[in-house]
Amino acid sequence: MQERLVDVLNENNNVLHVFPVQIEADDTALKAPDFEQKALEAAAAAEIVPHLEEKKLKARLHVTRGGPLMPYGDSLQTKNEQKMRLEERIRERAYFLWQEAGCPDNQADGFWQHACEIHCASTE
């Protein structure tokens, strides 16, 4: 049994539906028109268009892109990178503030908060 995806198109070449077409045959010489005809028959049975417009339908083998499907633009990754850069800048500023104050113990939170305030003030 061979299976192909076949696009059924209207007269404007807009894809109306993609049908998975299976043909039981031991013959490996099945051609695209065999699958396309079965898809047009399936479109008629599914009544995707009015009966009078069935003659205007066309079919073609479905073309898929190669490679794994990947989302276009990963906004979560971008936000994560921006957050990491921001934290790195604040960490560096807090470290320099700590050094300027003589490296006191147990005041890391205070220096971090002060560095955040300075950063926020400088971006406004």
Question: pLDDT tens, 23-62?
Answer: 887 666 778 888 999 999 999 999 888 888 889 999 999 8
* CA–CA dist 65, 51 (Å, integer): 33
Q: 0.95 exceeded by the pTM?
A: no
d(CA 21, CA 23): 7
Can you read off the two tokens belonging to residue 106? 């147990």
Check if the beta carbon of residue 34 is closer than 8 Å to that of residue 11: no
Domain ranges of the chain: 2-61, 75-123
